[in-house]
Amino acid sequence: MAGRPLLLSFDEMPEWFRHESNRWVLHGYRPISGSARTSFSSWSYIHNETVNIYSHLVPAIFFLIGEWYLQQYLSSRYSGVTGADFVAFSIFMLAAVMCLSLSATYHTMMNHSQHMEHLCLRLDMLGVVIFILGDLVLGIYMTFWCEPLLRNIYWSIIGLFGGLTIFMTLHPKYQGSKYRVFRALMFVATSLCGVAPLIHGIKVFGMSQMMRKAFPYTMAKAGCLLSGTAFYITRFPESRYPGKFDLWGSHSIFHVLVVCAAVVQLIGYLDTFDYAHANLTCSSL
């Protein structure tokens, strides 16, 4: 298929595709390609997945470049920076890259075939789990700056739940509607692993110190994610104005808010890192 193909309406797409898609998006669909090359060539023209692709592809590139820049920044600004500091930040940054790039890949390849759409959707969900874990790893590292035992305990807990969630996400046996609720509960359980360290931190250090340990930024991140989820669930504005938001809509807004959440949390962790290096001295270090 050379050049830009004729874009299709929702009703012209195969039944399996319509079943998985947003019925309020009426036009701008790419034909089923059956070819990875053809699907990736759609980066060069505008269709109803263009914004969904680039809203995560571009930030993925920036996070990848930012990972290298962050290493240089930490080395030049802090004389006492450690290898563990570098690793913790790298985990967060590379987890963000993985999440965003797998999302962009899914939205690129979803018109390939039914099998490829299902496979890439699982990889997209894998990226979400990876970013949740990467965020929690750095968050716990910052919260329990001088408490390695507590860090290790919480890391073990999130590793357990994260591993189970990844298994459920990728294993073919647990796909389909039969296990949908259980898969969702595993995602929720993994995400909630971040609540316990926050509550524990408030109890141990007090709210005043937790306010310097990225707590306000974590709340802002939660606000971004909850707002994005509200758009995702309600499918507003296209559900209110069908056909008017075919090129961008609820999912695009959700994507942007996810990126905002990641950026806000990163700023919070950098602020926490600055506070910790200036004010916290660990006797065990």
For each of the domains in the chain, give its residue range(s) and CATH number, in order of start: 46-275 (1.20.1070)
- For the entire predicted model, the pTM comes to 0.92
pLDDT (tens digit, 9 = 90+) per residue, 132-148? 999 999 999 999 999 99
The pLDDT confidence band at residue 1, using thresholds 50, 70 and 90, is very low
272/1: higher pLDDT: 272
Task: Tell me how far apart the alpha carbons of residues 99 and 107 are, in angstroms, rounded to a whole number.
Answer: 13
What count of Cα atoms within 13 Å lies in the side-chain half-sphere of residue 257?
19
pLDDT average, residue stretch 203-221: 93
Query: Residue 147 — φ and ψ, nearest 5°?
Result: -125, 75
pLDDT for res 285:
44
DSSP 3-state of 28: coil
Joined together, the tokens standing for residue 96 give 């963000």
**DSSP 8-state secondary structure symbol assigned to residue 178:** G
The pLDDT confidence band at residue 283, using thresholds 50, 70 and 90, is low
pLDDT for res 26:
97
DSSP 3-state of 209: helix
pLDDT for res 198:
93
pLDDT for res 142:
95
Joined together, the tokens standing for residue 280 give 């916290």
